[in-house]
Amino acid sequence: MVELSDKEREEVINAIKLGQPLPARYRASLFEDASETELIWPGKSTETERIVLPFQSIEHIDEPRAETVVQPTWFSMDSTSGRQVGGWTNKLIWGDNKLILSSLANGPMRAEIESAGGLKLVYIDPPFDVGSDFQIDVEIGSESVTKQASVIEEIAYRDTWGRGRDSFLAMIYERLMLISSLMAEHSSIVIHVDWRMNSAIRLIMDEIFGPEAYRNEIAWCYSGPSNTSVHLPRKHDSLLFYAKGRPTFVQPRIAHKSGVHNTGQVFGASSADSSEAKQAEMESRGKSLEDWWIDIYTADRYRSELAGYPTQKPEALLKRIIEMTTVDGDLIADFFCGSGTTAAAAEQFGRKWIAADLGRFAVHTTRKRLIAVQREMAAEGKAYRAFEILNLGSYERQYFAGIEPDKDDRVKTQIGERKEEFLRLVLQAYGAERSEQLPLFTGVKDSSAVLVGPLDAPVTQVDVQTAIETAKKHGIARIDILGFEFEMGIKPVMADEAREQGLTLTLRYIPNDVFDKRAIARGQVKFFDVGYVEVKPNQDKSGKVTVSLTDFGVFYVQEDADAAAAGLKRGKSRVVIDGGQVVKISRDKKGVVKTQALTKSWQDWIDYWAVDFDFTSQKELISIQEGDEVKQVWTGRYIFENQWQDFRSQDKRDLKMISSPHTYDTPGEYAIAVKVVDVFGNDTTKIVKIRVK
């Protein structure tokens, strides 16, 4: 029975009559499922995302290994390639982690996770209130340039902190609810926080997992300069350690010398225990680690690990957490993976892993880092797992456009209703007007006819050729074709071919940023020309094939050079990216502006490239849940099997321009796919055919 005073009952009744929200103090007394500990903020909701989007596998990576290496029982290896063909494949997922978590928790991949033992450890390091989290310094040639956040990343930041603490709490609360639903019955979660959100997240964790799930608040202490005159220097972050059920816990022990730990903690031995024999015994046994750690430095002290990521954490920190809470073969997840430290540490410790991030650059950085780990482990004769790169692809774009993925007639109605809204949104962002007068084309910008590609499929070479033929038939001289994706193998020479026929053809990417109306209104959405890559396959007399990179082009604009020059003060200079060039703009003391292109070669833009020597060998299959049945459906695409790659790292700036030789088992015609990733993490793919004799 609800125990309220007459005055309280009257207040509740009046609030309901007037349609006003009930005061928060009534929550515990009016609802049976009220939490013992709860944090309330305006707009709080216990509802979580339930949508299930199919995961698309876009790349499979597994360093070849010698057949002589003895592999563990979970590993099944192809005898010809030395690659893993069975067992759990680790997963690196690009996209919005709310949609990823919902699709994992409610979709077909949940069964795969559970068959792998379930999530035994989740570590997350959610973004703090730091605007520079998404800005990264990258090297282009001999210059260092700041990669600005994409508008999508800025939107995520704005949605996270736009209303201050309330919006951050709403973001993290829903994701923690989804994470909790994915965790195994006996598992651990560690959240990395700093002073800004420590207290609030602690209360949220108590609400979701229960106060009894709390294990420790670990202070990770560090040193460094600090200029402050109003408070003590803030020199630690917190690791909030919670547990479900009775998970693995291995008490860490640390060495100490002469009564003092290597953490600086003093071992309080009594005088009776201070004999040399007792000291030797204590030093051999080590000391149980307490909940404050000062023996692990910040990432900048571990130079060999640095991946250029501003919020990177040291592997030593993650290795300690992993050793403390898991055993060999357990599955670990990090849904804010950043530079991939959790995945790298998990791989080295023989754990399975799932890593996800919103940022394309973060996924690319993690890919390079895990390949480096595979290479190191292969050199040491250690077992490691293959990993695949997944995204939600066109299905995520449908979600952003308000179209729910479904197989019944309702989705057809939705697509019809949303198509016009979608077209107008893209055209508005592009600065074009909707037009239904031109056949095939969807809009007009200045003197160009504009064709907007489909929401859920790439623009194909056939689409481009049809547009060219339609334009010629109706006397159209300029064509702009916009697409979220372009079919692999669309040749840049198509623009040259169109020019020979009297047409100007431009292919441009539609950024996901078009789904933010605020960005459109402010003119922040940038449409980039499709990059291009040229390659040449070479076959020697023995039949071995190598691939050479011969050209690469990008067309990025981070800031208009003329606008930057206009705002430059005398005696100052700036480096900007405009028209696919890194440009240094200087204004001398007399006010004269000079512009200097800093990019010397097309090779400067390449950060990574990889080759799949038999591209059509692996069909891309997605899992679709239909009732109680899961069906495998071919998307019509192929998975890029990463068979050879080279990339730049912090300590290796050179790049090979010719691949290692590849031997084909049987003669015939093969499709070779070459993927080039630029310094900003964007990829361009080229497909060429070769006949092997």
**HSE of 485 in the Cβ direction (CA atoms, 13 Å)?**
15
For the residues 575-600, what does the mean pLDDT come to?
83
Q: Predicted confidence band at 341 (pLDDT cuts at 50, 70, 90)?
A: very high
**HSE of 657 in the Cβ direction (CA atoms, 13 Å)?**
13
Rg (Cα) of the chain, in Å, rounded?
28
Q: Predicted confidence band at 269 (pLDDT cuts at 50, 70, 90)?
A: very low
**HSE of 268 in the Cβ direction (CA atoms, 13 Å)?**
0
- 3-class secondary-structure state, position 624: strand
Q: 157 φ, ψ to 5°?
A: -65, -45
pLDDT at 140 over 80: no
Percent above pLDDT 90 for the chain: 38
97, burial (CB in 10 Å: exposed 0-12, middle 13-18, buried 19+): buried
Count of beta carbons in the 10 Å neighbourhood of residue 596: 11
Closest alpha carbon to 308 in 352, 261, 254, 368: 368
Residue 139 is predicted with a pLDDT of 75
User: H or E stretch including 134?
Assistant: none
Residue 33 is predicted with a pLDDT of 60
Yes or no: say if 449 and 441 are a contact pair by the CB < 8 Å rule.
yes
Residue 196 is predicted with a pLDDT of 83
The larger pLDDT score, comparing residue 402 to residue 499, is at 499
Residue 550 is predicted with a pLDDT of 95
* DSSP structure string for 358-372: S-HHHHHHHHHHHHH
Q: 93 φ, ψ to 5°?
A: -115, 130
* pTM listed for this prediction: 0.83
| Paired tokens of 431 | 């600065």
Q: What is the rounded distance in angstroms from the CA atom of residue 257 to the CA atom of residue 279?
A: 8
Average pLDDT across the chain, whole number? 83
Q: Which tens digit of pLDDT belongs to each residue from 489-511?
A: 565 556 667 777 888 898 898 88
Q: What is the rounded distance in angstroms from the CA atom of residue 235 to the CA atom of residue 464?
A: 57
Q: Which of 152-156, 437-441, 468-472, 642-646: highest mean pLDDT?
A: 642-646
pLDDT at 105 over 70: yes
Residue 608 is predicted with a pLDDT of 95
pLDDT at 645 over 90: yes
pLDDT at 414 over 70: no
Yes or no: say if 49 and 174 are a contact pair by the CB < 8 Å rule.
yes
For the residues 648-674, what does the mean pLDDT come to?
92
Q: Predicted confidence band at 61 (pLDDT cuts at 50, 70, 90)?
A: very high
User: H or E stretch including 49?
Assistant: none
Q: Predicted confidence band at 265 (pLDDT cuts at 50, 70, 90)?
A: very low
Q: Which tens digit of pLDDT belongs to each residue from 425-455?
A: 899 999 999 988 888 899 999 889 999 988 7
Residue 408 is predicted with a pLDDT of 57
For the residues 327-347, what does the mean pLDDT come to?
96
156, burial (CB in 10 Å: exposed 0-12, middle 13-18, buried 19+): buried
Helix, strand, coil content of the chain in percent (nearest 5):
30, 30, 40
Closest alpha carbon to 284 in 272, 276, 292: 276
Residue 267 is predicted with a pLDDT of 47
pLDDT at 99 over 80: yes
Residue 394 is predicted with a pLDDT of 67
Q: Predicted confidence band at 91 (pLDDT cuts at 50, 70, 90)?
A: very high
pLDDT at 373 over 50: yes
For the residues 593-622, what does the mean pLDDT come to?
89
DSSP alpha helix (H) spans, 267-408: 276-285, 315-325, 341-348, 360-379, 393-400
User: Which residues face 92 on adjacent strands?
Assistant: 355, 389
Residue 152 is predicted with a pLDDT of 60
Q: Predicted confidence band at 266 (pLDDT cuts at 50, 70, 90)?
A: very low
| Paired tokens of 525 | 């959405």
pLDDT at 322 over 90: yes
**HSE of 366 in the Cβ direction (CA atoms, 13 Å)?**
36
The region of weakest confidence among 180-189, 297-306, 377-386, 442-451 is 297-306
For the residues 191-220, what does the mean pLDDT come to?
93
For the residues 76-80, what does the mean pLDDT come to?
73
Residue 176 is predicted with a pLDDT of 96
For the residues 259-287, what does the mean pLDDT come to?
57
pLDDT at 537 over 80: yes
Q: Predicted confidence band at 142 (pLDDT cuts at 50, 70, 90)?
A: low
Q: Predicted confidence band at 177 (pLDDT cuts at 50, 70, 90)?
A: very high
Percent above pLDDT 70 for the chain: 81
